[in-house]
């Protein structure tokens, strides 16, 4: 029990550190990859509710501690994203095909990034700060690039899982 908890905490910390330090420092479009969101989509799709909850809370809290947005914004955005993905997975994308994972990745990225942007705007209004202090002029272009990179990584991750587990199929069958 405690052994698994420690392993999970270690993995969450490593994932957040890897995203914030390594991915952000990469050149070109690689910096737009949001590996946390993609891996959370797979965890939400494959793990038990209890594990999902710990991963969502863990990544959210750690991001809030390390990021420079008002505390709670990442935690709230990731929680809502997880709820959206969980609902879509159980209601619409029920088979574990590549297309389902891609659709879930897009939904997750959009719900997380848009909610984070919206909460930033609300924060800006709450503290009467100029909007451009919180929202970039390239907001939509950046979101587009993040979605593209997340989809590419999602495809790679899916095929990695296929190679190692042979549990999933890349197309719809039913």
Size, binding site for other proteins by CB under 8 A: 42
In this chain, which of 145, 148, 162, 168 binds other proteins, going by CB under 8 A? 145
Which residues face 97 on adjacent strands? 169
53 binds other proteins (CB under 8 A): yes
Q: Which span (37-45, 58-66, 153-161, 163-171) binds other proteins, by CB under 8 A?
A: 58-66
- Residue 154 CB contacts under 8 Å (≥ 6 apart), including other chains: 38, 41, 101, 102, 105
Contacts 24+ apart (CB under 8 A), 91-99: 95/172, 95/173, 95/174, 96/45, 96/167, 96/168, 96/169, 97/168, 97/169, 97/170, 97/171, 97/172, 97/173, 98/155, 98/158, 98/168, 98/170, 98/171, 99/171, 99/172
114 binds other proteins (CB under 8 A): no
Of 95 and 136, which has the nearer Cβ to other proteins?
136
- Tell which phi-psi region holds residue 10, choosing left (phi > 0), alpha (psi between -120 and 50) or beta: alpha
The minimum distance between CB 122 and other proteins, in angstroms, equals: 14
In this chain, which of 142, 148, 161, 162 binds other proteins, going by CB under 8 A? 142
Restricting to residues 67-106, which ones interact with other proteins according to CB under 8 A?
67-69, 71-72, 75-76, 79, 83, 86
129 binds other proteins (CB under 8 A): no
148 binds other proteins (CB under 8 A): no
Residues that bind other proteins (CB under 8 A): 13, 17-18, 20-28, 31-32, 49, 53, 56-57, 61-62, 64-69, 71-72, 75-76, 79, 83, 86, 132-133, 136-138, 141-142, 145-146
């Amino acid at each position: 029990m405690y052994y698994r908890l420690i392993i999970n905490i270690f993995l969450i910390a490593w994932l957040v550190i890897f995203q914030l330090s390594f991915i952000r420092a990469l050149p070109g479009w690689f910096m737009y990859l949001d590996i946390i969101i993609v891996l959370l989509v797979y965890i939400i799709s494959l793990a038990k509710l209890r594990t999902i909850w710990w991963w969502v809370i863990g990544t959210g809290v750690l991001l809030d501690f390390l990021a420079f947005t008002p505390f709670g914004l990442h935690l709230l955005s990731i929680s809502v994203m997880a709820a959206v993905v969980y609902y879509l997975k159980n209601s619409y994308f029920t088979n574990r095909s590549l297309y389902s994972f891609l659709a879930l990745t897009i939904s997750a990225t959009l719900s997380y990034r848009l909610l984070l942007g919206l909460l930033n705007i609300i924060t800006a209004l709450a503290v009467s700060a100029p909007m451009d202090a919180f929202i970039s002029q390239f907001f939509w272009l950046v979101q587009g690039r993040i979605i593209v990179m997340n989809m590419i990584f999602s495809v790679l991750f899916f095929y990695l899982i296929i190679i190692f587990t042979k549990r999933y199929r890349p197309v719809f069958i039913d």
